[in-house]
Structure 1
Amino acid sequence: MRFDRIRLSNFKCYDDADVRLDRGVTVIHGLNGSGKSSLLEACFFALYGSKALQNTLDEVVTIGADDAEVELWFAHGGESYHVERRVRATGEQAQTARCVLEAPSETIEGARDVRAYVEDLLRMDAEAFVNCAYVRQGEVNKLINASPSQRQDMLDSLLQLGKLEDYRERASDARVGVDRVRQDKQGSLSQLDDQIAEKEEKDLHARLNELRTEHEDVAGDIDRFEEQREKAVETRDQAVDILERYEEKREELADLESDIEDLREQISETERDREDISDDIADHRDAREERREELVELLPETDLEGSAQDPPTPDAVDARLDALDERDDELQESLREVTADVTEHTNQAENLRESAGDLDEQAEDERERAEDLESEVAEARANLADRREKVETLGERIESLEAEFEDAPVEFGEADSFREDVADELSEVRETVAGLEAEVENQRERIEEAEELLAEGKCPECGQDVDDSPHVESIDDDRERLAELEDDLAAARERQSDLEDRLERAEELVEVESEADDCRTNRSNVEQLIEQRESTLEEKAEQVETLRAEAAEHESEAAEKREAAEEEAAAADDCRERVGEINQERGTVRERRERLERVEDLLDAIADATDAVERLRERREHLEETNDERRERLVEKRERRSELQEEFDEDRVDKARDQRDQAAEYVEKADAKLEDLRERRDELQSAIGGVENEIEELENLRERREDLADRVEWLDSLYEEADQLQRMYGDLRAELRQRNVESLQAMLNEIFDLVYQNDSYARIELSGDYELTVFQKDGEPLDPEQLSGGERALFNLSLRCAIYRLLAEGIEGAAPMPPLILDEPTVFLDSGHVSQLVELVEAMREYGVEQILVVSHDEELVGAADDLVRVEKDSTTNRSTVVREEPEDRLAEAIGADD
């Protein structure tokens, strides 16, 4: 992973900043307090939001601003990403107003979702990011000062071993839960055994047979009593039927008496209603005459013709009203048009005045721009002269560099090939020297061994006694061979020394050629810049003349618009006078219309009164017809009353009453007996059902006990599996931790040897409990906290880099590591340790770290950087600016410093 670009707006001490970040080592350089660390904090905040802050969101918004924006472009796993955060500080406390992350295949919105996506993408949260890749200012000794347990938690979290502990705890929780359920089920199984034993003691099947026998006897008694009761009920119902028929006739007779009386009252009431209707008819006639008199008085005030006997028709009135409405519509339409004209002329006048003012301002702006352009042209011409001098200086430097090849063993441009040839030859000679040195050493050892054998009286070749051996004189040949080898070795060493001098000279020539190429590139860039600036100057000079001409045209156009505005204002006044005339005429039309509407109301009232009289006449005739019908029904009811009075027999009624009473008394006694018998039958039925339920419950208890026993057996097996799983996760975590400790120790010692070479320390040991020990050259152990301030800081940086390497190699190909960020790592370092820090940074780059960001004001680190970002703060506004220096600018600055 690497950061590509960061853009800030109102973030802490930055108003606006936009800087690109490349691969390799980038040093963010500037004075203390200039805002260097804030630039990296912005990158961290863009990824993790408020989790990346040590305080609250309020600290990120520039004082006096309403909101702050941060945008970060970064690459990860070969894909490009863009995250944007905006913080608004207009309320009581700052809040995230916008948070969007553009991923290759989706867009994520919301601070919480974006942070979760980043944590999943990088496989680390904000705390892990700080512990792994981001060495914050003042936290360089964080890992050394931490206790072994704290250091263990940090590294386990980074290496994701904490997940195994989570799994182990989950397995432990599962084991405890299974045990709890198992004990609960065992208790339930014991309760079921007790319940089954209790029910088996009741002998439920014998009790069920006894209850069923008694239930059959009671059911037979109920059947006999119900048969006798049905006969008594039949006798009682016959007697009741006779009594009901005589009662119905008596009720019908009473109803007839009532109906006759009601008909008499209805006839009298209807006659009274007919008299009231006659009075209403007279009232409506009087009201109609009053409306006719008012109409006769109102007609002369209108254009209508007519009298009380021959009034105007409603159609004539409607025609006059329609004509007045049509005229009022015409006046209203004219009023709208004239009012619109007033508005239009007024708006036109105002718009013309505003346009004239805008043109005056535009003319003034164009004159000011013309003056500014003239100043820019003059300043640019002065800068061009400086650029031409720079071209001449670079040309002189190129000539001086090429002159260095006059006495060189190669021509200019062939230094690199010459260096490679010398290096290859030197490599061969070094191999020859090494081989000769080995042969010389072997020959010397052989001669020494032969001399020892010879001194013992043995043959140097076969080990036999000298008197019997034919090879005694071979030692002289070995001495001659040793002399030849030593001569060859001396010649080879002399050749090696000569080639090393030639290689050094070749390296110098390569550097001269490289510097000359850089100077040529810079000269070409400056010449192109001069050519572009000259073309721009001509365009700006022409633009000055154009701006002045446009200013004059705008002033003339403004005068014309003011004159047109006065004409529009006069037209608006004329339209306002016409509005008054139209409103006056509309008032006259409104008065005439109100009189016609009153005539229309009077005509409607007269017509309504005439209709009411007609309806009342019809109502009175209908009431008379209704009374005639009632008189006919009254005669019929009187005849039916006479027939019923002749049909009554009192003896038959008395006999029916006696039969009804006797039968009712027997039914009452039978019902009481049946109720007792039915209650006993229901009690027996309930008892039978209860025993049957208990038998069914016993069978269910036996089935439940069998199921529960199987469940307890399964829980026993599950408990054992959870216990084994818990132990497995614990063992796996311990094994992985030991492997990581061994790998981390090896990487730490590798970096340690590089940084502390030729120093007084031998190695570092990291125990399984993450305890760190430094061993001196004499083998004495030393606690890291006993190191000096600079050594302790450098030791901690080495540890952080080793952790970074361990994580990078552990997840290579799945989740590329973030940039290695060092914020003011030289705070506790002296000049010697700074050089070692430079070597550490170079080593991390050689290990394959794609991007290293260093915040520092140390010049030695600046010199070792691939890219340099300068941060400066304006002492007046207290605002910081950031500039990324290009290679040609740094070269030009170096040349200027040399001059």
Structure 2
Amino acid sequence: MRFQRVRLENFKCYDDADLRLDRGVTVIHGLNGSGKSSLLEACFFALYGSKAIDETLEEVVTIGADECTIELWFAHGGAEYHLTRRVRNTGEQAQTAKCVLETPDGTFEGARDVRGRITELLRMDDEAFVNCAYVRQGEVNKLINASPSDRQDMLDDLLQLGKLETYRERASDARLGVGRVRDDKQGALSQLEDQIAEKEDKDLHERLNSLETRRSEVASKIEQFSEQRETARETLDQATTVLAEYEERRAELDELESEVESLRETITQTETDRRELKERITERRADRESLQTDLEETLAETDLDEADPDAVAARLETLEERDEELRTRIEDERVEAQKHSGEADSLAETAADLASRAESKRSEAESLATDIEDARETIAQRREKLDDIDDESDRLQARFEDAPVDRDGADDHREAVAENLRTARQRVTELETTLENERESLAEAEVLLEAGKCPECGQDVDGSPHVDSIESDRERVDRLDGDLADARETVEQLESKLEAADALVEAADELATLEANRENVAQLIAEKETGLEDDQARIETLQAEADDLESKAEAKRDAAAETREQAEACRAVIAECNQERQTVKTAIQRLERVEDLLEEIQATADEIERLREKRDQQAELNDQRRERLADKRARKEELEADFDDDRIEQARSQKQNAEAYIEKADEKLDELRATRDDLQNAVGGVKNELEELEALRGRRDELETTLENLQALYAETQDLQEMYGRLRAELRQRNVETLERMLNETFRLIYQNDSYSHIELDGEYELTVYQKDGDPLEPGQLSGGERALFNLSLRCAIYRLLAEGIEGAAPMPPLILDEPTVFLDSGHVTQLLDLVAYMRDEVGVEQILVVSHDEELVGAADDLVRVEKDATSNRSQVDRVEASVAELV
């Protein structure tokens, strides 16, 4: 994979940037904080979206912008791709507004689909990309600082071994699941065997035959009692029919009596209603005359001669049209007045704003004037401080006038004196030890001599050749004692010289500090003096701007007053129209009253006519009711003559006897039916148990077959689990061996010295560095620069392993190193350059991107990209330097 081009718009510190990237080593160079790393973060963000950044989406959008756009063109596997991401930050939370990946196979849209397709293309997600190809700033020691288990997980995921572990775990879960199901089925089979045995012990077929025989006997008895009950039922129905006819006639007679009485009351009430209607007609005639009088009085207040409905309507229409004209004019004038008032308010607000801005500028000018005075006082104070520093420097410099060395030789002089003092003290110690030994030997010799023995051989003094040697021992002790005194005096002199040398070193250090302070104070004075003229010019500018703003504010106030006068003129027109409209409304109300009175008079006449018609209808209804009353009286006399008391009494006796028998028969039938139902239920229960027995036997056969299948499946899942485990271990061992070889090759290439022999990587990804003498070291025990080189070697070895692939070469993303020299000194930077050249020339990495502020890396670039940040706008710009120019740079 190779990045071809990246274009940024409002991404972090970039307003607009467009950068093309070629094969080989591209160094992105610039000062710290200039925005170099943001270029690589943009490429990473384009590929993986929000998962590729540590901050929120809001923070990738340039401050003050509503949205940002990142476009990335890249080649992969011989095909070309174009990816666009747009983030919008206009609501409460920033969101991805567009995410489109254009590929030779089609277009993918949406953040999730694009990220899935990128992961599929590169065979790595965002975390794997960082662990393999992207050494981010400050993460050069990420792999070495990780625990062995975390390192194992990282590398297994990169080498796709995590999938085998996932498959093994799935096979294990499947095996456990099959085992649980198998055990459950075995338990279910045991329960079925127990249930089948229990049912077979009940002798269900014999019980079924006995129950069916008893059920047939009870059914015959039920049929016999049912026939007898039916006969009694027929007798009861006949008697009931006779009694029902009697009750119907009795009820009809009672109903006739009620209807006769009701008709009498209705006729009487209707006559009362007719009298009330007559009174109501008289009242409504009086109301009509009163309304006619009111109409004549109201009409006199209008400009009409007569109460003609058409004339009233025509006049009303004319007045309403005039009222509408006045209302429209009032509305127009009100809108115009509001417009002028709004303009006046706006002008007044503008004038107030201009006045406020003028006041603000005057305040700023006053503040600047105060600041100038303060600055002048500060400059005076700092000049006094310079004088103090100069006086102190002269005093300290005077110490070196009579000193044996100047200030530059103070440290060396002190070290020489200290070394002499150490030598002198060592001489004192040696003399003290020698003197003490000599004194002990002399004391022993003197004891022997007093005892008459030779001090050297222990023989009698007489004839001993060594007796005279004790005097020479005494002389040697005295000589050593004198030497020790001289040595101690020398130590005291050197200690005094060391104190003086320490004082000179302290004075030299203080002089260096004072000189640095003087330079800082002088620079601060220069900066303050440079700013005074600018501040004075700024004060004059602010005062001029304030006067201009105040002049504009006065003009706005005059315009506001003129606009308010126009608004008042509109309000005067509105008042005149409102007065005329009130007169029109009064005339409209009087004409509407005339219309209402005409309608009420007509309604009163209509109501009088309705009341007359209703009174006539009630008279007709009463005549009809009187005819119906005569008919009902005749029917009542007919029914009273048509009753047979003996027949009714006989029917009552038959009904009573039949009901008594039916009640006893029902009780017996209920008893027999209950017995039959119990027997039927028992028969059904036995049949159900027989069906259950057959079903249990069928389920037993099915469970036995299922158990055989589950046992075979359990064995297969167990074999599958073991196969995935073996395959993962074998692949891991192969990868560990290959990675160890590549890591040693890379490390030996860039770290050519006699300190280390090789590196070991065990099956758990535990790393050990061996020294030439065979002693092992943890990578963390290496020095900072060595540890950084070790980690870069490990990352490059991993990249190389993935590039070569398990089954052949695989297209890899660019190798990206973001500020790899942070932990390296100049010597180790040279080794880093060797590593970059090795990855490009020997391993064949198509594209290597290095971000650094280090000038040493510029010479290793095939292409150079300069990044600079404008101090005023705080925005970064990129400038791609051609390869030939990069070599000169």
**TM-score in same-fold range (> 0.5):** yes
How far off is 1:748 after superposition?
Answer: 3.0
Q: Is residue 79 of structure 1 aligned with residue 80 of structure 2?
A: yes
Instruction: Name the residue aligned to 1:152.
Output: 152
Instruction: Name the residue aligned to 2:143.
Output: 143
Instruction: Name the residue aligned to 1:301.
Output: 301
Question: In structure 1, what is the Cα distance between the partners aligned to 2:340 and 2:695?
Answer: 99
| Cα shift readout 1:157-184 (whole Å, capped 9, x = no counterpart) | 1111011001100100110011011100
Instruction: Name the residue aligned to 1:685.
Output: 680
Alignment of 1:442-457 (within 5 A): none
Question: In structure 1, what is the Cα distance between the partners aligned to 2:295 and 2:90?
Answer: 78
Letter in 1 for 2:96: R
Q: 2:623 aligns with which of 614, 625, 628?
A: 628
SS at match of 1:106: strand
Q: Is residue 596 of structure 1 aligned with residue 596 of structure 2?
A: no
Instruction: Name the residue aligned to 2:96.
Output: 98
SS at match of 1:28: strand
Change (3 A) 1:764 1:619: same
Alignment of 1:469-868 (within 5 A): 582-756=577-751, 763-774=758-769, 784-785=779-780, 787-810=782-805, 816-846=811-841, 847-868=843-864
SS at match of 2:99: strand
| Cα shift readout 1:619-655 (whole Å, capped 9, x = no counterpart) | 0000000010111111111111111222222222222
How far off is 1:79 after superposition?
Answer: 2.8
Question: In structure 1, what is the Cα distance between the partners aligned to 2:729 and 2:887?
Answer: 58
Instruction: Name the residue aligned to 2:448.
Output: none
Change (3 A) 1:811 1:853: farther
Between stretches 151-160 and 37-46, larger displacement belongs to 37-46
Question: In structure 1, what is the Cα distance between the partners aligned to 2:215 and 2:883?
Answer: 117
Instruction: Name the residue aligned to 1:497.
Output: none
How far off is 1:188 after superposition?
Answer: 0.3
Instruction: Name the residue aligned to 1:210.
Output: 210
How far off is 1:209 after superposition?
Answer: 0.5
Instruction: Name the residue aligned to 1:222.
Output: 222
SS at match of 1:181: helix
Instruction: Name the residue aligned to 2:29.
Output: 29
How far off is 1:50 after superposition?
Answer: 4.9
Letter in 1 for 2:797: A
Question: In structure 1, what is the Cα distance between the partners aligned to 2:135 and 2:850?
Answer: 10
Question: In structure 1, what is the Cα distance between the partners aligned to 2:739 and 2:887?
Answer: 44
Letter in 1 for 2:698: E
Letter in 1 for 2:596: D
Instruction: Name the residue aligned to 1:5.
Output: 6
Q: Is residue 163 of structure 1 aligned with residue 159 of structure 2?
A: no
Change (3 A) 1:678 1:572: closer
Letter in 2 for 1:97: Q
How far off is 1:9 after superposition?
Answer: 3.5
SS at match of 2:305: coil
Change (3 A) 1:744 1:598: same
| Cα shift readout 1:200-224 (whole Å, capped 9, x = no counterpart) | 0011110111111111111111111
The runs of 5 or more residues in structure 1 that have no matched partner are 307-311, 355-563, 895-899
SS at match of 2:845: coil
CA contact (8 A) 2:803 2:809 kept: no
CA contact (8 A) 2:865 2:881 kept: no
Question: In structure 1, what is the Cα distance between the partners aligned to 2:70 and 2:295?
Answer: 87
Alignment of 1:202-281 (within 5 A): 202-281=202-281
How far off is 1:149 after superposition?
Answer: 3.2
How far off is 1:609 after superposition?
Answer: 0.5
CA contact (8 A) 2:52 2:126 kept: yes
SS at match of 2:667: helix
CA contact (8 A) 1:76 1:816 kept: no
Question: In structure 2, what is the Cα distance between the partners aligned to 1:875 and 1:640?
Answer: 123
The runs of 5 or more residues in structure 2 that have no matched partner are 350-558
SS at match of 1:103: strand
Change (3 A) 1:99 1:819: farther
SS at match of 1:180: helix
Change (3 A) 1:793 1:631: same
Change (3 A) 1:568 1:888: farther
Question: In structure 1, what is the Cα distance between the partners aligned to 2:340 and 2:99?
Answer: 53
CA contact (8 A) 1:236 1:663 kept: yes
Instruction: Name the residue aligned to 1:201.
Output: 201
Instruction: Name the residue aligned to 1:887.
Output: 882
CA contact (8 A) 1:100 1:114 kept: no
How far off is 1:239 after superposition?
Answer: 2.0
Question: In structure 2, what is the Cα distance between the partners aligned to 1:780 and 1:572?
Answer: 100
RMSD over aligned Cα, in angstroms? 3.9
CA contact (8 A) 2:192 2:700 kept: yes
How far off is 1:249 after superposition?
Answer: 1.9
- Aligned residue pairs, count: 675
CA contact (8 A) 2:862 2:883 kept: no
Change (3 A) 1:671 1:144: closer
Question: In structure 1, what is the Cα distance between the partners aligned to 2:322 and 2:779?
Answer: 107
How far off is 1:43 after superposition?
Answer: 3.8
| Cα shift readout 1:444-475 (whole Å, capped 9, x = no counterpart) | xxxxxxxxxxxxxxxxxxxxxxxxxxxxxxxx
Question: In structure 2, what is the Cα distance between the partners aligned to 1:160 and 1:888?
Answer: 38
Change (3 A) 1:87 1:239: closer
CA contact (8 A) 1:74 1:82 kept: yes
CA contact (8 A) 2:804 2:810 kept: no
Letter in 1 for 2:692: E
How far off is 1:818 after superposition?
Answer: 2.2
TM-score by length of 1: 0.68
CA contact (8 A) 1:152 1:769 kept: yes
CA contact (8 A) 1:236 1:660 kept: yes
Instruction: Name the residue aligned to 2:365.
Output: none
CA contact (8 A) 1:764 1:773 kept: yes
CA contact (8 A) 1:274 1:620 kept: yes
| Cα shift readout 1:741-793 (whole Å, capped 9, x = no counterpart) | 23323433443454346766565443333344556678877654555443332
SS at match of 2:94: strand
CA contact (8 A) 1:100 1:107 kept: no
Instruction: Name the residue aligned to 1:519.
Output: none
CA contact (8 A) 1:345 1:569 kept: yes
Letter in 2 for 1:79: E
SS at match of 1:174: helix
Question: In structure 2, what is the Cα distance between the partners aligned to 1:790 and 1:772?
Answer: 18
CA contact (8 A) 1:67 1:90 kept: no
Instruction: Name the residue aligned to 1:381.
Output: none
Letter in 1 for 2:109: I
Alignment of 1:56-135 (within 5 A): 69=68, 71-77=70-76, 78-84=79-85, 86=87, 88=89, 95-98=93-96, 100-104=98-102, 105-106=106-107, 108-109=109-110, 115-135=115-135
| Cα shift readout 1:712-760 (whole Å, capped 9, x = no counterpart) | 1111111111101101111111122122223323433443454346766
TM-score by length of 2: 0.69
Question: In structure 2, what is the Cα distance between the partners aligned to 1:813 and 1:108?
Answer: 32
How far off is 1:591 after superposition?
Answer: 2.1
How far off is 1:616 after superposition?
Answer: 0.2
Question: In structure 2, what is the Cα distance between the partners aligned to 1:892 and 1:851?
Answer: 18
Question: In structure 2, what is the Cα distance between the partners aligned to 1:627 and 1:828?
Answer: 124
How far off is 1:289 after superposition?
Answer: 0.7
CA contact (8 A) 1:10 1:65 kept: no
How far off is 1:256 after superposition?
Answer: 1.5
CA contact (8 A) 1:352 1:565 kept: yes
Between stretches 74-83 and 836-845, larger displacement belongs to 74-83
Change (3 A) 1:814 1:271: farther
Question: In structure 2, what is the Cα distance between the partners aligned to 1:644 and 1:302?
Answer: 76
Between stretches 639-648 and 140-149, larger displacement belongs to 140-149
